[in-house]
Amino acid sequence: MLTEEAAVKASVQRNPNLAEIRERYKALLEIPSQVGSLPDPVISLNAMNFPVDTFDRNQEGMTQLQLGFSQTFPFPGKLTLKQEAAQYDAVAAGHSVDEARLNLVSQVRTRWWDLHYIDRALETISANKALLNQFITVAETKYETGKGLQQDVFLAQLELSRLLDREIQLQSLRRQQVIALNVLMDQSTLTDIVLPTRQADRLPKLAPESDLFDKAAVIRPRLKQMETHVDAANSRLGLAKRDYYPDFNVGVAYGDRASNNSIPGGGSRPDLFSVMVGVKIPLYAGTKQSRAVEQQTRELQRSRYALIDERNQIMASISSAVTDYDRASKQLSLFGSGIVPQAQQTVQSMLAGYQVSEVDFLNLVRSQMTLLNYELQYWKSLSDANEALARLMAAVGEESVYE
């Protein structure tokens, strides 16, 4: 038996899409230290000032073999801002893992309750088939004794055929739901799924809607992710502004010279040591750095607007889920305690009346079909309520949404 919680646990452990998002988060964790490090230094080996007529190293005094080392130093603060932005990206990816988990759990719960409804609907149809067979037996008996009409038998058989058609459709739909649930749990689509025969139909009372809003504003991973995007955009704007300031390049070189100085100085030629300092000048700031600042300013504003929009969408999702839950809960109570029992009594009463020729057979069949629809609506209300509850949990960001 696959319970709802067992399905959730299996999907969280094995779902490949969730694993993919989790691995992306782990990959992004490796970026901050990379972008926060200095650029790799450059070691150079140079052959300098060789005469092209002989390429003799001893011919000219400035001919040398040179070993150099250079390092670029970004303007103070640039590396810190790059690392900070990358860290925010990694944190946002961590929130996306939590958000993906919420969505996955909501999908699994929804699929599970869809399957639960279909199973109960098939049970209900099976029970109504038995009831219709009882009608056929009664109608045939009355017809054989000359107290009934043959058309009553035909009508009952027609309704039975319609139930069989409905059963076939539901069995096909059940197969589709089983496939979808198996995919979410990363198991073979050929695996059959058997649910518990009954679930509690008493629904919990939700916390006040305003409390759910406040809770979502604090804990919903999607909002945390969007807030982190704003922080990352702010860091990138600071980095764009720092690009007005130059980077520096510092290098040293050692030149090895051969042979001796020519007369009159004489003596061996001394080796040479060089120091180089380079400065990157933002000469085209008007078309590069200024435009980059404007771009990042717009990106920051976009992130802020996206956060506001996402917050509004989440609040709307909470309100919608609460509304659907309340509606389904009321319908479940109405069908369970009133309509279905009354319809059952009506069918039994009309069957007794038909047996003594006090009730028309058509009205008997209509009452039976009405009972079937009410029973199906009862199970649909239970499924709808629990699916709305699953959406509400995902919208708030946790499962504790009760009083």
Adjacent-strand bridge partners of 249 = 72, 278
- Please tell me which residue, 159 or 249, carries the higher pLDDT value: 249
Which fold is adopted by the domain 4-38+75-246+284-396? Outer membrane efflux proteins (OEP) (1.20.1600)
pLDDT for res 266 = 59
Model confidence, pTM: 0.86
How many of the other CB atoms lie within 10 Å of CB of 69? 13
Sheet holding 42-48, edge to edge: 42-48, 64-73, 248-256, 272-279
For residue 61, what are the contacts with CB-CB under 8 A and spacing of at least 6? Answer: 257, 261, 262, 269
For residue 328, what are the contacts with CB-CB under 8 A and spacing of at least 6? Answer: 381, 382, 384, 385, 388
For 121-183, the DSSP string reads HHHHHHHHHHHHHHHHHHHHHHHHTTSS-HHHHHHHHHHHHHHHHHHHHHHHHHHHHHHHHHH
Residue-wise pLDDT for 352-370, tens only, equals: 887 777 777 778 778 888 8
Name the phi and psi angles at 276, rounded to 5: -125, 140
Q: What percent of the chain has pLDDT over 90?
A: 67
Residue-wise pLDDT for 274-283, tens only, equals: 999 999 999 8
- CA angle (170 as vertex; 165, 175 as ends), nearest 5: 130
What is the Cα–Cα distance from 234 to 240, expressed in whole angstroms?
Answer: 10
pLDDT band at 199 (very low <50, low <70, confident <90, very high): low
Adjacent-strand bridge partners of 277 = 250
Buried b (16+ CB within 10 A) or exposed e, 39-53: eeeeeeeeeeebeee
